[in-house]
Amino acid sequence: MSDQGASPVLVLLLGDSRLPSGAHAHSGGAEQAVAAGLVEDTATLADFLEGRLEAGIALEAHAAAASCHVLVPGDSAASALPALEALDEAIDARLASPAARASSRRQGAHHLAATRRIVPSGAVELVGSVRPDPHLCVAVGAACAGLGLSPATAAGIVAYQSLAGAASAALRLLGLDPVAVSGLLARLAPACEALAAAAGAQADGPLPARAGPGLDRLMELHRQRKERLFAS
């Protein structure tokens, strides 16, 4: 399946950090990684982002592709609903940290509320009918499905946004060189695209179940902090 006939500009819109879906206040664990001294410059940020790609972002990308696949226009609600419920459970089962689950649902709720008005579609409404706070990857997958975009594109948008969001948070907290940080994202583009292609090709298969205990721990420690600038 491809994006044939779909709007490339709307891909940019959905992937733009300026999309008002609440993502700017989430660091994807980067704030805690900075606090723990794990990320202190662009080189350590690169390590952190590569680690995120291996575990957390891989799950998000595959789940976004699965959500988009389930919701391709033409499929009836009757067949999509049980699949969406199963997907929701499968994501929960793979996110060990309650803080990570909560953050994903919080951002999903914001994304759903925004895309309901920005790019309304039956797919987005169907996800909203299952619950008001889907996981973010599911909400993005639904928005993509509604626009006729492919599961691989949905996976790519989710993977890029996760990387860029964490990178932007580290930039703000550490005062990194923005050009160096964007250069890092450019260097990670092939890995991001490979992940998106794999997720698209396996959109009807089981989700990956790779543990990321380091990130889980960061997310939990962050949730317990009294002083924090980011919501997660």
Partner 1 sequence: MHRDEHHRTDDLPVPSLRSGPDGVSRAARIGIGGPVGSGKTALVAELCRRLQGRFSLGVVTNDIYTTEDADFLRRAGVLDDDRIAAVETGCCPHTAIRDDIAANLAAVEEMEAAHPDLDLVLVESGGDNLTATFSYGLVDRQIFVVDVAGGDKVPRKGGPGVTRSDLLVVNKVDLAPFVGADLTVMAHDAAEQRGERPVAFVSLRTGEGVDAVTAFAVGVAEGMHAATTAIR
Binding of partner 1 by 178 (CB under 8 A): no
The alpha carbon of residue 111 and the mean position of all alpha carbons in its chain are separated, in whole angstroms, by: 11
Applying CB under 8 A, among 6, 13, 15, 24 the residue interacting with partner 1 is 24
Sign of the dihedral defined by the CA atoms of residues 21, 25, 26, 30, in that order:
positive
Q: In angstroms, what is the minimal distance from the CB of 117 to partner 1?
A: 7
Nearer to partner 1, 6 or 102 (CB): 102
Q: Which residue has the tokens 């930039």?
A: 171
Span interacting with partner 1, options 65-73, 85-93, 190-198, 222-230, rule CB under 8 A: 222-230
Exposed (0-12), middle (13-18) or buried (19+): which is 60, by Cβ within 10 Å? buried
Find the binder of partner 1 among 65, 114, 138, 188 (CB under 8 A): 114
How many residues of this chain bind partner 1 (CB under 8 A)?
24
Note whether 63 and 112 are within 8 A (CB): no
Helix (H) or strand (E) holding 134: none
- In terms of CB distance, is 149 or 171 closer to partner 1? 171
- Angstrom distance (rounded) from CA 117 to CA 103: 22
Residue 33 lies near partner 1 (rule: CB under 8 A) = no
Q: Which parts of the chain are beta strand (E)?
A: none
Window of 25-33, 81-89, 191-199, 203-211 that interacts with partner 1 by CB under 8 A: 25-33
Q: Answer whether 84's CB lies under 8 Å from 67's CB.
A: yes
Nearer to partner 1 (CB atom), residue 68 or residue 169: 169
Question: Which CB, 19 or 72, lies closer to partner 1?
Answer: 19
Cβ atoms of 175 and 32 closer than 8 Å: no
d(CA 87, CA 138): 8
| Cα 149 from Cα 135, distance rounded (Å) | 19
Q: Please tell me whether residue 172 binds partner 1 under the rule CB under 8 A.
A: yes
Question: Is 231 an interacting residue with respect to partner 1 (CB under 8 A)?
Answer: yes
Q: Which stretch binds partner 1 (CB under 8 A): 20-28, 53-61, 156-164, 182-190?
A: 20-28
Which residue in 14, 21, 99, 147 binds partner 1 (CB under 8 A)? 21
Residue 110 near partner 1 by CB under 8 A: yes
- Using the 8-state DSSP alphabet, how is residue 23 labeled? G
- List residues binding partner 1 (CB under 8 A): 18-27, 109-110, 113-114, 117, 169, 172-173, 226-231
